[in-house]
Structure 1
């Protein structure tokens, strides 16, 4: 019996819907209810899909992820729950310090409804080269197939919030080199973008900035240097989503008709007031 067949009808619909939505919407991110909590207070966070840092929250569904962890220093704990739980993360932190939430989705598939949609996506994510390459490979414009996976992280401060993010072994990830809750941010927020453990040089990084009281974020584009590093402008009291996308060729003959693979890295945090 399939996983969907074991769920209540309403929850089965949620699983199917959450699987389909990322094809139409763009970003996927972890959205803490509170970015800073007192020691001993449970950490709570939603999983969101949407555009402009605005999107619907989705429940804890084990079939939709391959990794969901809460990491604090060397302590790594799996995020546990029951299918359908909201928020998706609701658990106690191991203790005082900076907590990093990590979530990796399963692989999803999408078929672009028309060539113009593929063009728009590749232009937005600074991968325009893929348009010409698609045609060079003799592939049709009528049915562009893509496989995609999301690699999300979020920073939550517990108590003193002391500590640091680190490389978590994700296929692609954004590593915060600045602790937003304890460090001086007057010169910006530093991150490094990685792919398979190596720095991603000269690639686009999109920063969504959500001001207090706003429902949507304002997007600005930035680029990494030759070490995959970039300093992002931030303001006190604002919430941030950092996003970067890897785009790889796939052989449709061996990859179930998928011609492309996209790997999405995201990182969320908030700058205290």
Structure 2
């Protein structure tokens, strides 16, 4: 890796770790990413990393979509099975038929965050939201407190039964999220690189900062990459473990709105095992 890119990557990782609490990542955490067909799997909704990692206390009324989308096109509405409760053993227990499945969760944008100017600016820098930072400068608001409303959009890849087909196609298929991470290869294939894309409103998103975190050791991201003009980026293929990809994007709201920006958090979690199941 060229020295200049190594320095840039290290700077991104350091700034990502310095993000304020409001920027904590959110994801679906299955107890098992692989199971026998129709076997029940517990899952929780997680937020934060390292010492700040905890069960999400999100209200069930904010969850607008929770479903499993199959590699064969089937859709299972799972909202009735989801009961977020940090004090319960799990937030849901689900069972899916044999095949590749993507769990998909969407919330409304009913949550708000307000931060003093220095912390808000640091947050924008840490999460790669440079257009928002530039807009604040252009409007002479860099020293004003910042406010946003935000939503969560998360996916988790499940494999039910032995060696399900269609995993790669499912990972590359947009599922209608306003901000969405797609993988262009099955991580289990263990190729040298892991190519991915980010879509915003269904179109390639350039300039998004994507972080890759190993959930067994999640105090800080393992790596961070910015998407290119085609919304693409790639990571060195990660090894065995459970992994999280996440990104954030924001859009300015009209003058007179209650807050300045509407921000979307998105994530994709998956696992890689030492050897592909036979």
* TM, length-normalised to structure 1: 0.80
2:118/2:143 contact within 8 Å kept: no
- The 1:57–1:87 alpha-carbon spacing in structure 2 relative to 1, beyond 3 Å, is same
- Cα shift at 1:205: 1.2
- The 1:135–1:228 alpha-carbon spacing in structure 2 relative to 1, beyond 3 Å, is closer
CA RMSD of aligned residues (A): 2.4
- Aligned match for 1:58, one of 48, 56, 65: 56
Q: Which residue of 2 aligns with 1:190?
A: 195
The reply to whether residue 78 of structure 1 matches residue 77 of structure 2 is yes
Q: Which residue of 1 aligns with 2:65?
A: 67
The reply to whether residue 237 of structure 1 matches residue 237 of structure 2 is no
Q: Which residue of 2 aligns with 1:10?
A: none
- Cα shift at 1:161: 3.1
- Cα shift at 1:149: 1.1
For residues 40-80 of structure 1, give each alpha carbon's deviation from its aligned partner in whole angstroms, at most 9, with x where no partner exists. Answer: 21132211111359621237842121111111121111112
Q: Which runs of 5+ in 1 are unaligned?
A: 1-21
- The 1:59–1:250 alpha-carbon spacing in structure 2 relative to 1, beyond 3 Å, is closer
Which structure has greater helix proportion?
2
- Cα shift at 1:227: 2.3
In the TM superposition, 1:90-239 aligns within 5 A as 90-93=93-96, 95-107=97-109, 108-112=111-115, 114-139=116-141, 141-159=143-161, 160-163=163-166, 164-165=170-171, 166-181=173-188, 184-211=189-216, 214=217, 216-239=219-242
* TM, length-normalised to structure 2: 0.79
- The 1:117–1:248 alpha-carbon spacing in structure 2 relative to 1, beyond 3 Å, is same
- Counting matched residue pairs gives 244
1:30/1:48 contact within 8 Å kept: yes
Q: Which runs of 5+ in 2 are unaligned?
A: 1-19
Q: Which residue of 2 aligns with 1:87?
A: 90
Structure with higher RCO (Cα < 8 A, 6+ apart): 2
